[in-house]
């Protein structure tokens, strides 16, 4: 097996995922009339939603910040950088078996997904704080913040459902985030550039030091 995500990355991913789940469900109760009517207790749901929202960026920030975050920082760099192969990947009909496209640790879809979530978290946090503590802002800005919070929430629901759908369709990739490793076959066929990179590294390590 080839290690893919270390403990720090997996802990950051799953705590963030849990917070997203809480926020999406309490958000639905606060937003959608039928759910509001079904559950009521607005003050309770509001408190849970606000505190989960404030905590939302914490797992990733803690993961990135310390000595322990070296691999997470490196993966953020990989997600940031786009190559010609990413453009090629988008043009492929069959994106799961990329064929000649030399995919690295993340394919272009994963890059889009991670980048969207990073931006969405910042936007939701900023607009959410405006809704919770509206006093400094004019009514037009409050209405604007509500507008943004609502439409980004729709985007997030779509992105999360899509993310889960793709994860379920590819159990080995999902295993990378649950157990932390993937099979060499998967790495070689679906992330060939990353496969060369990691096998190269281990060969370098195994080579005996010259005497």
Partner 1 sequence: MDGTPVGRRVFLGLLGAGAAGILWGSKAQRWLEQNVGPYLAKDGTGLSGLLPIGRFRIYSVTGSMPHRGHDEYRLHVSGLVDQPLTLTYREIRAMTPTGLTRDFQCVTGWRVFAVKWKGVRLGDVLDRAGVQAGAKALRFRSFDGTYTESLTLKQARRDDVLVAYELEGEQLSDAHGGPVRLYIAPMYGYKSIKWLDRIEVTDEVVPGYWEDRGYDVDAWIGRSNNRDDNAP
Name the residues that contact partner 1, by CB under 8 A: 30-33, 36-43, 77-83, 86, 111-112, 114-116, 118-120, 122-123, 126-127, 130-132, 134-148, 150-152, 154
- Return the biggest CA–CA distance within the chain: 77
* Least gap, CB of 142 to partner 1 (angstroms): 3
Task: Give whichever of 20 and 152 is closer to partner 1, judged by the CB atom.
Answer: 152
* Least gap, CB of 207 to partner 1 (angstroms): 25
Q: Which two tokens stand for residue 58?
A: 């914490």
Cβ partners under 8 Å of residue 198, min gap 6: 2, 187
Task: Give whichever of 39 and 68 is closer to partner 1, judged by the CB atom.
Answer: 39
* Least gap, CB of 180 to partner 1 (angstroms): 23
* Least gap, CB of 179 to partner 1 (angstroms): 27
Task: Give whichever of 44 and 65 is closer to partner 1, judged by the CB atom.
Answer: 44
The pairs formed by 186-189 with CB atoms below 8 angstroms and a separation of 24 or more are 187/2, 187/4, 189/97
Task: Give whichever of 12 and 175 is closer to partner 1, judged by the CB atom.
Answer: 12
Give the residue from 106, 95, 113, 125 showing the smallest Cα distance to 155: 113
Q: Identify whether the C-beta of residue 123 lies closer than 8 Å to the C-beta of residue 152.
A: yes
């Amino acid at each position: 097996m080839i290690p893919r995500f270390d403990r720090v990355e997996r802990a950051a991913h799953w705590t963030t995922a849990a917070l997203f789940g809480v926020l999406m469900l309490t958000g639905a109760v606060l937003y959608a009339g039928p759910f509001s009517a079904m559950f009521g207790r607005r003050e309770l749901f509001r408190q849970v939603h606000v505190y989960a929202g404030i905590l939302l960026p914490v797992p990733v920030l803690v993961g990135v910040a310390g000595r322990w975050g070296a691999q997470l920082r490196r993966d953020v760099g990989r997600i940031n950088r786009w190559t010609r192969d990413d453009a090629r990947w988008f043009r492929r009909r069959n994106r799961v078996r990329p064929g000649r496209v030399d995919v690295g640790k993340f394919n272009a879809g994963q890059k889009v997904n991670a980048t969207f979530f990073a931006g969405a978290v910042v936007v939701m946090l900023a607009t959410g704080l405006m809704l919770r503590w509206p006093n400094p802002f004019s009514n037009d800005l409050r209405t604007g913040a509500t507008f943004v919070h609502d439409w980004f929430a729709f985007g997030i629901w779509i992105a999360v459902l899509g993310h889960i759908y793709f994860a379920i369709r590819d159990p080995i990739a999902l295993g990378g985030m649950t157990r932390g490793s993937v099979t060499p076959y998967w790495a070689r066929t679906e992330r060939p550039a990353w496969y060369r990179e990691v096998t190269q590294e281990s060969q370098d390590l195994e080579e005996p030091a010259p005497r």
